Structure 1
Amino acid sequence: MGLDTEEIRNEIKRILEREGIHRSKRLADEVVKKVGSEKTVYREIKTMAESGVIQRTGSGQHISYDIPSATEKHRLVLFHLLEYAENNWEHLDRSHFKIVNKKQLVPLEALMDIVSGIKQLQTIETRFRIFKMYPALKKSKEWDKLEKQIEKNWKSIRVLIAHNIERSGKSDIVGEVLMNFNPIMRGVMTSVDPASDSKHVI
């Protein structure tokens, strides 16, 4: 397989993975903008469909292509991410119950509950942001659910912090929470070239 052929195939897969199902002409047009001639692109689309790399649906002027295996894989990960977000909410809910109902609040325990809840949620949100690079996944039912669940979890964290302040009487809970996260460092980057006096603030 030549370099052009490989680039064409990679571009076909990239488009389908990012944007989902495409009509034949639209897919070919988008690929040709980046690499290859129309004739070569159509030939590679046909070859990839015949070999099962991409899936062809429809007939005549209504032929479309997709990569169901990749899409399904991403949807499955999205589903598990939603489960993780729901578990995170349950963790926050249990923490909230303890803060509200315990006769004697254990400040360190309450603080760690908040911090661990935030860190879990950050992981979930970061992965979800990466998934936003794949617009095709917006069609899945888990997408909206996950978006709403993340917002619900952040709301729970805000309530958790507020009740912690109320119970403990400590107004600097937010400061204590932030101390458990890596600070944003500001430093000076200098050139390794002895002849250079350039400095960059980072």
Structure 2
Amino acid sequence: KRSIGRYLTEQGAQVHVLPSSATADEVLALEPDGVFLSNGPGDPATVAQGIATTRALLGQVPVFGICLGSQLLGHALGAETYKLTFGHRGVNQPVLRRSDGAVEITSHNHGFAVQATSLGEQTAELTFDTAEHGRVEVSHLNLNDDVCEGLSCLEVPAFSVQYHPEAAPGPSDARYLFERFSDLMLSQGPALVGGSA
């Protein structure tokens, strides 16, 4: 997890590490420019505190999640998760970035995934209308089995990927996501929660 902090600080972020039990009020008390939801083990459906905190942060501050953080974002948006028959493991998983058709070679270590169709009514190809947070699109797909590997909120500043862009050692195809998060925080400025830009 040190590499996550390193990549965030390379983008100019001041990083505060909070326990997974932190509430939205505790997070927002720091006046963050953004919130990064980290990876972790287990069934995301059992992490009620993390889901509640993520739900409360949506629309308040930019959010970027990886691995378990992606699953928490999915739950916070109203999706369900499911256990994969064969978990994704290894440093050579091909993932389609749907925005431009690029294929990223990515590092994975997850046994659960977001069931995108449970997000809400499908309004366009792999785009769903959630009850609370507007439209969400599946931004990344695993080319081996079509599993949802990323979510991008179209109406609140939040996105996630299921894999590990920070893998070290490992592929570096997805490190651009840290720059994307930095850009998202800068674009939102202090208007959301009073933090400094």
TM-score normalised per structure 1: 0.21
Larger gyration radius, structure 1 or structure 2: 1
Structure (1 or 2) with the greater helix fraction? 1
Structure (1 or 2) with the greater strand fraction? 2
TM-score normalised per structure 2: 0.22
